[in-house]
Amino acid sequence: MKKILIATTALVATAGVASADVSLSGDARMGVIYDGSDLNFTSRTRAQITLSGESDGGLSFGGSFDMHNAGDASSGLSGSAFVSGEFGKISMGDVDGAAKAAVGQVDGVGLTGLDDLNEVVYVNGGTDVDGDASDDTIYPNPAALYEFTTGAFSFYAGAGDPAGKSEAESVLTTGGPTSGNITTTTLSADETYSVGAKWAANGFSIGLGFETVQAALTVSDTLGTFVPTAVQGTISQIIIGASAEFGDFTIKGIYGDISTSKSLGGGGDQWAISGTYAMDALSVTAFYSDISIGIGSAEAYGLGAAYDLGGGLSVKGGVVNDRGGDTIADFGVSMSF
């Protein structure tokens, strides 16, 4: 993830002249993954683009995106751009909500992340709820995030794209009241706001966030059995997280309380905890997470280890008991460039 390219402008710039750079970084991995029933190969090769500049007046500005998301980044649905100065930092694009920016996630395990089951759900800012490696939440992009740091404190405020361009999640379910019917449930976001604050010093940190979405739930079907209905309501979360380092050992914990309007179904709560022991090139991580939203409690836990071979190469592996009770595992080499 380091900057790896030299800008011509930087090399030939006379002192005091602002310059703008484009740099590339990359990552790759290869190994095997056991998905609960089959053993498969897994590999990937990626690159990231980082743009950075500084105005004559000392404002920093830039952006970044993944090369495989270049199409979405060109329309603000992936990647992000920012301007920062003494006033703080404003980012726009596929940015986190303020609650996630302040609280984050506990540590995960494995070569591939193993469905990232260590992660809690954020109402704003792209979380993978059902562990299928694709974001499920309905935060409309381009979203905006403001960050301000003073001493040990950081403050965050976020908003999804105002009404008119909100993204929506569609769920297709075959069957339904009439045989052959296809029912579509669409959850769309209207107004989305979030705030957060974080304190970090001496190896300890505490983060607190609040986030809310004005959501609409619409049900329709192909056979017209349902009268299309739209249920309006609010989904909100108060979430708190903390981390502490004790020598080579780091512990992290997060608790979130989600409340929804009655019309959208009940809320729930979620928590996750991780412990990571790191000494020299070796690190070992364990996590436990429990998400109880609407449809009952679902817990997951996992254990993983990584060994750093230097130069960007490391060996990683993990084993996780997922929310359906299956054991999934992976092992391989991870590379960063």
**Contact string (CB under 8 A) for a second copy, positions 71-90, x = contact:** x-xxxx--xxxxx------x
Q: Is 132 in the site for a second copy (CB under 8 A)?
A: no
Q: Which residues 53-72 are close enough to bind a second copy by CB under 8 A?
A: 53-57, 59, 61-68, 70-71
Helix (H/G/I), strand (E/B), else coil: 175: coil
Pick between residue 59 and residue 284 the one whose CB is nearest to a second copy.
Answer: 59
Q: Is 139 in the site for a second copy (CB under 8 A)?
A: no
CA 105 – CA 239 distance, rounded (Å):
11
Structure tokens at 213: 């979405």
Q: Which residues 143-202 are close enough to bind a second copy by CB under 8 A?
A: 143-144, 161-165
- Compute the least distance from the CB of residue 30 to a second copy, in Å: 4
CA 248 to chain centre: 26
Q: Is 306 in the site for a second copy (CB under 8 A)?
A: no
Residue span binding a second copy (CB under 8 A) among the ranges 43-51, 211-219, 248-256, 316-324: 43-51
Phi-psi region of 334 (alpha: psi -120 to 50; beta: other; left: phi over 0): beta
Helix (H/G/I), strand (E/B), else coil: 304: strand
Please return the burial class of 123, using the count of CB atoms within 10 Å of its CB with bins 0-12, 13-18 and 19+: buried
Question: Among residues 28, 208, 231, 303, which is the contact residue for a second copy, using CB under 8 A?
Answer: 28
CA 286 – CA 307 distance, rounded (Å):
15
Q: Is 103 in the site for a second copy (CB under 8 A)?
A: no
Q: Is 4 in the site for a second copy (CB under 8 A)?
A: yes
CA 52 to chain centre: 23
CA 209 to chain centre: 15
Pick between residue 93 and residue 104 the one whose CB is nearest to a second copy.
Answer: 93
CA 140 to chain centre: 14
Q: Is 37 in the site for a second copy (CB under 8 A)?
A: yes
Question: Among residues 148, 312, 321, 323, which is the contact residue for a second copy, using CB under 8 A?
Answer: 312
- Compute the least distance from the CB of residue 283 to a second copy, in Å: 16
